[in-house]
Amino acid sequence: MEKFYFTPPTPYPLFSPTPYSLLPTPPNSMSIFFHEQLHRTPELMTKLRNFPVTICGAGALGGNITESLARSGFGKLRVIDKDRIEERNLSTQPYYRSDVGAYKAKVLTNTLYRALGVTVGSCKRINSF
């Protein structure tokens, strides 16, 4: 009796990724905002970088909004918050255990500068700017 051996075909992915040849060529100097630049014109990126935004509050909503704006390319951000980080804030806000006791606006400013190089103005009162 003759034996037949079955060789399974090469597994194919469930989706077909875009071939690298079809992706836009990255600029000579890779930007941290590369993904945003794929979908936005250079003129729009310049407008975002120069558009001033002030966020009142660096808690759960304000802290995450500030981070999202900075990661989207906004370059003139200011955060106003007079609260200090408490341990009960850690489950909903973008802070760490080591930040407990520090001012929220100051920690958020330092975090975004270290991550993105974006300078965010921070203060504890509105009339400080």
Superfamily of domain 37-124: NAD(P)-binding Rossmann-like Domain (3.40.50.720)
- What are the sequence ranges of the domains in the chain? 37-124
Which residue, 73, 76, 79, is CA-closest to 108? 79
Q: Tell me: pLDDT of 26 over 70.
A: no
Which residue, 80, 26, 78, 72, is CA-closest to 53? 78
106-125 pLDDT, tens digit each: 999 999 999 988 889 988 77
Q: What's the pLDDT band for 41 if we cut at 50, 70, 90?
A: confident
Q: What is the mean pLDDT of residues 75-80?
A: 94
Q: How far is CA 18 from CA 10, 15, 21, 23, 27, in A?
A: 19, 10, 8, 7, 19
Tokens of 106: 């100051």
pLDDT at 18: 45
Q: Tell me: pLDDT of 92 over 60.
A: yes
Its pTM stands at: 0.70
